[in-house]
Amino acid sequence: MNQKLWNNKVNKFDKPVVVEFWAKWCGPCKMMAPGLEQVRSEFKGKVDLIRIDADSESKLMQELKIYSIPTILIYHQGTLITRKTGAMGIDQLRKLFMMAEVGQKSTIGMKSTDRIIRVAAGTVFIAAAFFTGYTIPLLLLGGIVLFSAVYDRCPIWKFVSSRISGLLHQTKPKLNSE
């Protein structure tokens, strides 16, 4: 995709644009595709979706600093407002499209200082496990605290948690009593 085509499709477009970088061989991309298509149809006429094959657009990926797929970029009035990497469930995709529609920037995870504090605390618990008799509990606690510092960036966690959330929030069919 050359710069002129990119400008016409993204920078000068009158509607918000969701750009997905994907590949045929990418498992998470394949899992996310049906949800992405469903959300695309829900927002038809309000938000446009451009799907770009990463294998055929390596130069564009370098220019945009995209290092893994799937990656979604959201542009509103030609300005990048959100960048998300990793597989997402339909609820997360719907939220992204809603944010794109109104031009709302995404809050991307927690603050760096919060991450550093959690990593430090987790490391202290793990270190304490080696110097005390409470090895297993402290190792588990340290692992949980360390994971809490990065879970919001873990694409597998995002996908699995959105699937579980979707299953839990499904309405149960009503029984007809005649």
pLDDT digits (tens, 9 = 90+) for 66-123: 888 889 999 888 888 888 888 888 888 998 898 888 877 765 456 677 778 888 988 9
| 154 assigned to active site | no
Query: Of these residues, 10, 17, 26, 52, which one is catalytic?
Result: 26
Instruction: Decide which of 162 and 80 is more confident.
Output: 80
Query: Of these residues, 18, 29, 96, 149, which one is catalytic?
Result: 29
Percent of the chain exceeding pLDDT 90 equals 10
Whether 143 has a pLDDT exceeding 70, the answer reads yes
**What mean pLDDT, rounded, does the chain reach?**
80
Average pLDDT over residues 114-137: 86
CB contact set of 16 (below 8 Å; sequence gap of 6+) = 46, 47, 48, 74, 75, 76, 77, 100, 101, 103
| 26 assigned to active site | yes
In terms of pTM, does the model score above 0.75? no
Of how many residues is the chain composed? Answer: 178
Q: How is the beta sheet containing 48-53 ordered, strand by strand? A: 48-53, 17-22, 71-76, 79-85
